[in-house]
Amino acid sequence: MSLAAPIFMPYTPPQSPQPAYRWLKRSTLAPHSPEDSGESDAEADTLPHHPRAHTKPPMTHDVDMETDEESEPGCQERSAFLRLPIEIIDKVLTSFGDHDNISLARFAMTCQELRAHIYLDPDQSLWRDIFLQNYDDPRKAAAPWENAHTEDIDWRQKVKDREFVFRVLDLWQEEKWDEAIRHLDLICDTLLDMYLDLPSTAEDECQHHQDSPRPYRPRASKNTPILTYLCSSPLFIHLYRNHRLCPQSPGHPRLRPLAGARQIPQWSVRRQIRTHTNPKLARLHTLLPPHFDENDEADREWRGFMRELVYSIKGFSEANDHGPFHADGTVDWVICDAVGSVMMSNADEVMDNPEISEHWRDSIVPRSYGVEPTRGWGFSHVERPLELPSTQVWDWAGVEGTWEGSYAFIDYTDWISLNEPQLILQRGRVAQLDLTRYHEAVGDLMRLRLVLDDPTDPNSPTHHLPHIVSNLPVSNALPPIRFVGASLSSNDVEHPSPPLGFVRGTVQLTTDNPPQVRWTLVIRYGGADRWTLEAVQMGGRGSKRGFFGIWTDAAKEAHTPNGPLWYWKS
């Protein structure tokens, strides 16, 4: 394994096409501020409160939409359009809303009866049809939301929120970017709502049928190209880089890791970042490969702190099983974001190094682009197969098979400098460890060949080994999956050799809502447990992005290192 740092070439993922979002027209009629709602003042007074204010849209300020209080709605003859069957009227209105939401709002201002039908109809079938023309159906989402009642979906509010967020992230100019922080919660909640609405990719796992000339295709998602586009937008990247600290946190620290500073505890700034980073922004940032420019100082500082989070041992203890979790068993998205940022940035550099094996490029590229690889099988229809014998382990997570991946590490002296600076100071070293310009080593591309295991079977290879236990709460919604396997280098495919280590582990669900898939692996060398891996699968079961996590010493002895890892199914 070579520890030489690969030559870095900036990586730019393929530009996501602008989504077919047909409500927005780049014209003078489209509102350009969060206060432009496209509704009249009179209507706004009768509607449920919304986070942003309502004013009349451009070019309609001189239109009086109030009707004569003394007149009766039935006094005037109804137009031929209003005398049409309601189903036809809804079809026409849906075509308006599908192509231009602002035009629909202005159409509603032409008639009190139309306005009432568009905005006050409790059925909301019109807004549901408009929503479903552009987005995935939340009633068919792969990730169920506990206590969510799909019959109570506020379709109109969903349309308004998504239209507003798209308009902000796509159309707001740089001089307005700082205003977007006022809407950060709405932006994050709306984008996460779109992500949780993604349909299952379970059809992906279907193989060729004897009577079918081609395999099943996964159900196409309308949300993934929109999410990829919006989460790659310059404004979203600006929000992540400049506002990822929550408002109640201390002032944004200078992103310069100071492991050897005498006057400031070396863990203080790191604890601020871990405690106060916005977990919603961090989770959204895990959906895409990071954009990193080594020539940009802000990018270097950001990557330096991502390194500091994953290599600092103070972030991992028995309280979180030395992994990317909280004490309540839920996922720590700040750590997952840091691991993903470090490992995917390292992978970009590896693939740009001509001396690296082609195995890396062939294996990793299909799993790295856009939001689609973080789309999984979900939990909407999870049932044990009827034909599966009761004595056989149910592989509901797709564990069995070959997984590829790698890990990263820093020089042990540098790890000690980061985590035990007093030892370095005692030896007279005064130079500070600057992780902003650091190039950690990336391990070989490894393969894990995993099979299911029944630990109650006396013939199981794990029967005589210690059980893997967790200090954290877990979900009992699905049974844990135990597995065994071998760890070997990807080069062993061409030149077979004995496995480098014996692997055993467990897959189970976290206590998140919806639940996440947690991986625990123990790698054994020479008859002794050597490394423990704790990880979270990005996108849940069946996702192609794989799992991000932290490796630590299995015995958890003092002064033993830790670092990030990434594995995906080949």
pLDDT band at 62 (very low <50, low <70, confident <90, very high): very low
Cα 559 from Cα 489, distance rounded (Å) = 27
CB atoms within 10 A of CB 267: 18
Report which of 91, 26, 36, 84 is spatially closest to residue 60, judged by C-alpha positions. Answer: 36
pLDDT band at 284 (very low <50, low <70, confident <90, very high): very high
Report which of 151, 195, 164 is spatially closest to residue 333, judged by C-alpha positions. Answer: 195
**What is the helix (H) or strand (E) element at residue 274, kind and residue range?**
helix 268-276
Cα 293 from Cα 149, distance rounded (Å) = 44
The tokens for 160 are 């308004």
DSSP annotation of 278: -
Average pLDDT, stretch 16-45?
39
Residue with tokens 């809804």: 90
CA distances from 236 to 16, 151, 300 (A): 14, 32, 18
DSSP annotation of 477: S
pLDDT band at 412 (very low <50, low <70, confident <90, very high): very high
Lowest average pLDDT, out of 107-111, 361-365, 472-476, 520-524, goes to 361-365
pLDDT band at 352 (very low <50, low <70, confident <90, very high): confident
DSSP annotation of 147: T
DSSP annotation of 166: H
pLDDT given at position 238: 92
pLDDT > 80? residue 140: yes
The tokens for 231 are 């989460």
Q: Which residue has the higher pLDDT, 497 or 372?
A: 372
Note the maximum CA span of the chain.
94
pLDDT band at 295 (very low <50, low <70, confident <90, very high): confident
Determine the residue type at 88: I
How wide is the angle at C-alpha 429 spanned by C-alphas 424 and 431, nearest 5°? 110
